[in-house]
Structure 1
Amino acid sequence: MLKEAIAVGATVELAKEAACKELGVETFDDRIEFEIIEMQSKKVLGLFGGRPAKVKVTLKQNAAQTAEEFIKKIIKSMDLNDITVTTKDEDNIITIDIEGEDVGFIIGRRGETLDALQYLACLAANRVDSSYKRVVINTGDYREKREKTLESLGRRLAIKAAKTGRKSSLEPMNPYERRIIHTAVQKVNGATSWSEGENMNRHVVIGPDGKSKDYNRGGRGGRRSNYSRRGSKPKTSAPAPNPDRKPLNEGGEHGLYGRIDK
Structure 2
Amino acid sequence: MERVIITGKTIEEALSRGLEELNTTEDKVEYRVLEEAQSGFLGLIGRKDAKLELIKKVDKKEKAKEFLEELLEEMDLNLAVEIIQDNNEKDALLNITGDDLAIIIGHRGKTLDSLQYLTNLAVNKGKEDYLRVALDAEGYRGRRKETLENLALKMANKAKKTGRKVMLEPMPPQERKVIHAILHNKSDINTYSVGKEPYRKVVIVKE
Instruction: State the TM-score, normalizing by the size of structure 2.
Output: 0.73
Kindly provide the amino acid, as one letter, of the partner of residue 176 in structure 2. R
1:205 Cα deviation from its structure 2 partner: 2.1
1:173 partner SS: coil
In the alignment, what sits opposite 1:70?
64
Specify whether residues 143 and 114 from structure 1 end up closer, same or farther in structure 2 by C-alpha distance, changes over 3 A only: same
2:3 partner SS: strand
In the alignment, what sits opposite 1:19?
18
1:172 partner SS: coil
Specify whether residues 86 and 198 from structure 1 end up closer, same or farther in structure 2 by C-alpha distance, changes over 3 A only: same
Instruction: State the TM-score, normalizing by the size of structure 1.
Output: 0.60
Kindly provide the amino acid, as one letter, of the partner of residue 204 in structure 1. V
Kindly provide the amino acid, as one letter, of the partner of residue 59 in structure 1. K
In the alignment, what sits opposite 2:182?
184
Identity rate, percent: 32
Structure with the larger helix share: 2
Specify whether residues 162 and 180 from structure 1 end up closer, same or farther in structure 2 by C-alpha distance, changes over 3 A only: same
In the alignment, what sits opposite 1:88?
85
**Is contact 1:5-1:19 (8 Å) kept?**
no
In the alignment, what sits opposite 1:128?
128
Kindly provide the amino acid, as one letter, of the partner of residue 57 in structure 2. K
2:108 partner SS: helix
Q: Identify unmatched segments of 5+ residues in structure 1.
A: 212-262
**Is contact 1:67-1:122 (8 Å) kept?**
no
Structure 1 residue 205 and structure 2 residue 207: aligned?
no
**Is contact 1:93-1:136 (8 Å) kept?**
no
1:171 partner SS: coil
User: Highest CA radius of gyration, 1 or 2?
Assistant: 1
Structure 1 residue 165 and structure 2 residue 159: aligned?
no
Kindly provide the amino acid, as one letter, of the partner of residue 151 in structure 1. E
Higher mean C-alpha deviation, range 35-44 or range 100-109: 35-44
Q: Deviations over 1:176-208 (max 9, x none)?
A: 2112112334455654322111132212123x4
Question: Structure 2 CA distance, aligned partners of 1:17 and 1:91?
Answer: 27
1:128 partner SS: coil
Kindly provide the amino acid, as one letter, of the partner of residue 153 in structure 1. L
1:81 Cα deviation from its structure 2 partner: 5.0
Q: Identify unmatched segments of 5+ residues in structure 2.
A: none
